[in-house]
Amino acid sequence: MSQSPEIQLVHSVNPPRLFSALIVLTALGLMSYMGASQVGLPQGLLFFCVGAAIVLAPISAILGAFALVARKNRFAEFFSQYYLLYRELTKFILPNDLGLTGIAITNLAVLAVSEGRFLDAKELLTERCTLKIDQALKVSLLGQICAFTGERDEAFKKLAEAKDLVCDASGETPDQAHMEALAEFYSNECGLLPDIGKADLAIESGLKGLQLREKFCGSDSYEVAKTLNNIGYAYLKAEKFPEATEALERAFRIAQKLNKESDYAGGNITNNLGCALMAVGEKDRAFELLSVAIKLPADGPFENGFRQYSLGRYYSEMGQFKEAAIQYSRAFHEWRNMQGLQHPDYTQCVSQYAEALEKLGKTEERKKVVEGLRKLQAGEHVPPKAMPQVR
């Protein structure tokens, strides 16, 4: 996984710095103008590009948000960083940017979380925010980071705080936009709570979100399918396998009907349904779905690794320990650059890997893995790249 360039946020711009930046921009403009003249390029082209850059700068944070929704992560990062650079140059003369800095920072934090750069995201999310919905999103992201880095109690507190902020912003008579925001929160909370040992609460939140999404989006919408996926995941963690299978089968049917089974969320649904079918004894179809899921787009390295781990569990259950060990190794490879990872699925993968190595008679490798497992269970951080690889 490639690391994004380090982002440095500047809180104030003094006049000399702004003056220096303007001198540099003016010099670059003159050089470009003379260069265009020398090679015979239309001089108007330069002015068009410079003008477009100036016009787009104030709205580049919003463009970054749209790019993020469209899963164009590199465009989202470019537009968001471009806006922060623009703010660095103009903050002295334009003190109020109507919350666009918060949008740009949130865009970059969401990207950092999806790429496993939890510590980078946590640093970004310390920026000041005044809008309640925006603040709720940031607090929720902090809860997600805590869930992935083993801070379970703090994660639960952050999610509760985010819920209060969303409900407070909605007021006593919320409009549709606020209700949809609340549905989004419930759905996301349903996907996070199982990872901090709150599967029953997750199911409760997921069902609330499902009711709202069916009302506002329609019972066969993709938003409903994604919420059903989170509910199915919560049922899996609660070991309520028939209920998990029912929810995930419905999500899968909706994704197929909308031709969405091959995108990143469709891949999550496919993988989770494979896990549920494995739990209820439908091994052949489970293998088919799990084998498909690892080839579909995923929302970042953690999901990629989780799918490898899921297929490894299938092989372990079938007694194919060589194949299982290879899949667990691939999961660790996907997770190798994730910062501070201390997720329950990571710990379980290490445990399953140790068992597979024991069955294969790989004593030395197993000793290293067992030592890593001991540290993880004691609350210490063990980077996935420290795990010995089996090929």
Per-residue pLDDT reduced to its tens digit, 338-376: 989 999 999 999 999 999 999 999 999 999 999 999 998
Euclidean distance between CA atoms 63 and 56, whole angstroms: 9
Average pLDDT, the chain: 82
Euclidean distance between CA atoms 346 and 369, whole angstroms: 12
| 216 found inside a domain | no
Domain of residue 51, residue span: 7-114
| 275 found inside a domain | no
pLDDT band with cut points at 50, 70 and 90 for residue 243? very high
Count of CA atoms in the C-beta half-sphere (13 A) of 15:
0
Better pLDDT: 35 or 293: 293
Q: Would the pLDDT of 185 be above 70?
A: yes
Q: What is the CA 320 to chain-centroid distance, rounded?
A: 32
Mean pLDDT of 310-324: 96
Amino acid letter, 359: K
Q: Which of 64, 92, 114 is the last residue of a domain?
A: 114
Q: Would the pLDDT of 51 be above 70?
A: no
Q: Which of 114, 143, 168 is the last residue of a domain?
A: 114
| 142 found inside a domain | no
Q: Which of 94, 114, 134 is the last residue of a domain?
A: 114
Q: Which two tokens stand for residue 127?
A: 């920026």
Non-local CB neighbours of 203 within 8 Å, separated by 6+ positions: 190, 231, 234, 235, 238
Euclidean distance between CA atoms 311 and 327, whole angstroms: 7
| 110 found inside a domain | yes
| 42 found inside a domain | yes
351 closest CA partner among 375, 369, 336: 369
Non-local CB neighbours of 105 within 8 Å, separated by 6+ positions: 9, 80, 84, 124, 125, 127
45-59, 119-133, 162-176 — which is least confidently predicted? 45-59
0.85 surpassed by pTM = no
Percent of the chain scoring above 70 in pLDDT: 79
Q: Would the pLDDT of 72 be above 50?
A: yes
Quote the number of domains for the chain.
2
Mean pLDDT of 9-28: 45
Better pLDDT: 27 or 368: 368
**Please, what sign has the CA dihedral across residues 296, 301, 306, 308?**
positive
Q: Would the pLDDT of 32 be above 60?
A: no
Q: Would the pLDDT of 248 be above 60?
A: yes
Amino acid letter, 329: S
Contact 106, 115 (CB under 8 A): no
| 14 found inside a domain | yes
Q: Would the pLDDT of 313 be above 90?
A: yes
| 389 found inside a domain | yes
| 238 found inside a domain | no
